[in-house]
Amino acid sequence: MNDSRIPETVLKAISEGTHIVRAYREHLGYSIEEMAIACGLAAEEIENIESGLRYNKGYRDRIARSLSLPAGTFDELSDVSDAA
């Protein structure tokens, strides 16, 4: 993954094995609780996603919006279909 639109700190964290959602969340300074409130998910759901749980397009878009990222930011990085 080498995309100039992705901040270097996020790329570094991902290359070290950090889940992309956590990498962006930490880069932007959000706690799990703050992000959960912003995207309407439970903190436990955020923790599960950051631990590698597969998640659907609706969740991907909600998370992206809560981090002020464009919808679709996480689409190419997930192996879950858009049907869910």
Q: What is the pLDDT of residue 77?
A: 60
User: pLDDT per residue over 36-58, tens digit each?
Assistant: 999 999 999 999 999 988 888 88
> Cβ distance 35 to 25 under 8 Å?
yes
pTM above 0.85, yes or no: no
User: pLDDT per residue over 22-41, tens digit each?
Assistant: 999 999 999 999 999 999 99
List, in sequence order, the alpha helices (H) in 1-84.
Answer: 8-15, 20-28, 32-39, 43-50, 57-66
Q: What is the pLDDT of residue 53?
A: 87
Domains of the chain: 8-72 (1.10.260.40)
Place of tokens 């991907």: 60
